[in-house]
Amino acid sequence: MRRAIEGPRGIGTAGLLGLLLLTSGSARADAGNAARTLRLAWDREILTIRGDHLPGGAVEVLYIEAYCRPGSTRRDWKQTVIPHRTERIEAAADGSLIRLRSRLDDGVVVDHEIRTGRDEVDFRVVASNPTRKASEVDWAQPCIRVNRYAGVPYEPSSEAYLPRCFLFVGGRPVRMPTTPWARDAVYTPGQVWCPAGVSRDDVNPRPLSPIVPSSGLIGCVSADGKELLATAWEPYQELFQGVIVCLHSDFRIGGLAPGQSRTIRGKIYLRPADIPALLERYHHDFPGQETRGTPGATSGPARKLIEFGWDEPGTSFLRAHLAEMERTPFDGCVFHVDARSPAGAPASLTWQGWGKTTFQAQDLAAARQDLEAVAASAPRFRDNFLRFNTTPANLDWFDDHAAVIANARLAAKLARAGRARGILLDTEQYEGKLFDYRQQRHASRHSWAEYAAQARRRGREVMTAMQEGYPGLTVFLTFGDSLVWKQSDRGKKPLAQCGYGLLVPFLDGLIDAAQDGTRIVDGHELSYGYRAAPAFIDARRAILRDAATLAADRSAYAKRISAGFGLWLDYNWRNLGWNTGDPSKNPLTPEGFETALRAAIEQSDEYVWIYTETPRWWSEKGGPVALPAAYSNAARRARRALAGDEPPRPQTTRPVVHPTRPADHPDPRKGVSHSPKPQDDRVHQPHRSPPRAEVRARGSDPQAAEILGLTPMVPKNR
């Protein structure tokens, strides 16, 4: 993937530089020509830049196309745009200066001073809020139409001009279409590149590339290869290839408090086709803007690596071993919570929360103390999730759910006390068949529609309770609608006949009640066995586009759901083995693990989780168990390379995987167990076949095991 990004569709960076530099000699000669004068005009929202030397004679800019609110990525465009009116305040007779003023419907005033220079147009923008109310205006769009410049017909949605267009990734020019080229979004086609430090929730609702640009420059080369057009703004919100043969570097305002003003500056360069000279000018005009990016790196929010396996800690382990855990490649982990009542048997909020038992805060006081200590001491290990299973599921959707709702609220309060990111809602049917309509107690009396309505109601109640305990939390699902999309044969099979069919209306309910700031992650456990980028690309499409067709409200689904992935390090070790002495003999070698991890991180919106059974990243005695150091090093390299802190490692064309599973067609089916059920709060030691008292087998649900094509593990003493 990394090689493909450096040279999309077989054209390397050297090819692009060659295209631009082959003509640089004649272009430099032209640069000395006094005829390179630029003139400005503005009428009816169109800024026209004229010059006798310009390809096509002029460049038109829709200025300004739109002023936008945040939260725009997955929302109807009409809800994003703040209406405005722009008027011309001043225009120089020689076309060297224009002043404009935009008035937004919320009272914000934006003044624009636009001047011509040698081979450039300079923009100085001041956005002011004279009102007594804060403004949501977050970013704005100057839309540069390049059809005449690039020598292509004006055809809406055309991609004919893409091979002449470029941006910068890892400090190098990259020709469009970049690889990967996103295709799924609220609106298509087009392509958005989100820089580091800008939320992926706040950009154009067109296909969002996982690639992070290393600078705010975007441009194109003229049809004859002698001229180039490029644009940059500071600060900038996004780079965008639009649908009217246009290019954008859209500038950021960032909201305005009452009485607040912000200054933004921008450039449109219209220069001879000389990339080094362009970069020299850009660095002079925007010192410090360029960041060290890496091809294929993903943009904010920062990607996080989460641990979730048989070494799942309790709160006391998390507190006692925090320093050790922070030395691992992870940003956080999934942890369980046990009740420690002075009287009565030990109980697990994690495993008994979805049932008839109502847990009390005093029974969880010790766990809360542990989590408060973690919150006070962890400088880095912050992306932790409290595990809350849909077990024992010993009640029907029509039964009283007061205990479940109270437990969900209490779990969220504990997560907040520990400054965890939120709740890991494990939706696997370990015990009761909560989401299988055919297995419901009253299926003979209540129709699918009635059960679906009840499941949706419970989803709203549970989400409301969690938000009461922790406003703005993240709810991380092991399985979401993408599982049901697969079970339903891509929507062909009725949900009533799917083993997890009721998960869809339940998730609809979670989405219904989700407030601003609350996020829902489809953790896509189906990716356990994925090894190569195409599988993750397809899975991302399944989560964000295909599964959305099952949702009751597709626009709300698009706004709330983000894509995550799970990787199982010792995948199916019972049949394939796990070699600690020679990891090159493992089905997933360290090299293969690094390749798969990079692909997962690149395609995720924020979270990737690593699941293990035999190997442990930490232990009671300190340090890892049955985990060759090569795997930890591979995880660190993947993280560093994607953050731009390490030169890219050449990627093999065929990742090293077990010969029974083709690299390009990984088995997209289910794993075995996921995490031991604790009898106490200690982390569990390695075991090949955990006894029934210690484990709920991930895969003890035969239907779940069938999804991944593995023989479900039946715990002993059952």
Cite the beta strand spans of 222-368 per DSSP E.
227-234, 236-241, 246-252, 261-272, 304-307, 332-335, 338-339, 347-348
pLDDT of residue 637: 87
Terminal Cα distance for the chain, rounded? 46
19-33 pLDDT per residue, tens = 443 334 434 434 444
The model's confidence at residue 336, banded by pLDDT at 50, 70 and 90, is: very high
Residue 44 CA, chain-centre distance (Å), reads 38
Please enumerate in sequence order all residues whose Cβ is within 8 A of that of 228, keeping only pairs 6 or more positions apart, or say none: 20, 219, 220, 221, 222, 269, 270, 271, 272, 273, 274, 275, 278
Give residue 45's region: left, alpha or beta (phi > 0; psi -120 to 50).
left
Q: Is pLDDT of 328 > 80?
A: yes
Closest Cα partner for 240 from 267, 265, 221, 213? Answer: 213
The pLDDT of residue 648 is above 50: no
* Percentage, residues of the chain above pLDDT 90: 69
What value does the mean pLDDT of the chain take? 84
Inform me whether the pLDDT recorded for 299 exceeds 50.
no
From 57, 77, 74, select the one nearest 66 (Cα to Cα).
Answer: 77
- Give the model's pLDDT for residue 291: 60
Q: What is the pLDDT of residues 627-644, one digit of tens each?
A: 999 999 999 988 775 543
Chain segment 446-494, per-residue pLDDT in tens: 999 999 999 999 999 999 999 999 999 999 999 999 999 999 999 999 9
- Render pLDDT for 210-248 as a digit per residue (tens, 0 to 9): 999 999 999 999 988 889 999 999 999 999 999 999 999
Helical axes 503-513 vs 448-469, angle rounded to 10° = 40
The pLDDT of residue 420 is 96
Q: What percent of the chain has pLDDT over 70?
A: 82
pLDDT by residue (tens digit) across 134-186? 999 999 999 999 999 999 998 888 899 998 999 998 888 888 998 889 988 99
Number of H helices, E strands in the chain: 20, 30
Give the type of residue at 540: R
The predicted-structure confidence for 339-370, as pLDDT tens digits, reads as follows: 987 676 789 999 999 999 999 999 999 999 99
pLDDT over 50 (residue 688)? no
Name the band, by pLDDT with cuts 50, 70 and 90, for residue 35: confident
Q: Mean per-residue pLDDT for 386-406?
A: 98
Instruction: Tell me how far the alpha carbon of residue 620 is from its chain's centroid.
Output: 34
* Digit-coded pLDDT (tens) for 583-611: 999 999 999 999 899 889 878 888 999 99
- The confidence score (pLDDT) of residue 11 equals 33
What residue ranges in 523-595 does DSSP mark as E strands? 561-563, 565-568
HEC string of 467-484 equals HHHCCCCEEEECCCHHHH
Q: How confident is the model at residue 406 (pLDDT cuts 50, 70, 90)?
A: very high
pLDDT confidence tier of residue 13, bands split at 50, 70 and 90: very low
Q: What is the pLDDT of residue 28?
A: 41
Which pLDDT score is estimated for 49? 98
Residue 34: pLDDT band with limits 50, 70, 90: low
- pLDDT for 537: 78
The C-alpha atoms of residue 484 and residue 709 are separated, in whole angstroms, by: 16
From CA 141, how far away is CA 103, in angstroms rounded?
A: 15
Average pLDDT over residues 375-379: 81
H or E stretch at 47: strand 46-50
525-573 pLDDT, tens digit each = 999 999 987 788 789 889 998 999 999 999 999 989 999 999 999 999 9
Asked whether residue 308 carries a pLDDT value surpassing 90, the answer given is yes
Tokens of 492: 């062909």
Q: Is the pLDDT of residue 41 over 70?
A: yes
Q: In the predicted model, what is the mean pLDDT of residues 309-315?
A: 96
Q: Are 553 and 564 in contact (CB under 8 A)?
A: no
pLDDT in tens, 487-522: 999 999 999 999 999 999 999 999 999 998 899 999
Rounded to 5, what percent of the chain is helix, strand, coil? Answer: 30, 25, 45
**Nearest CA-CA partner of 144 in 53, 267, 253:** 267
Residue 666: pLDDT over 80: no
Structure tokens at 551: 């949702």
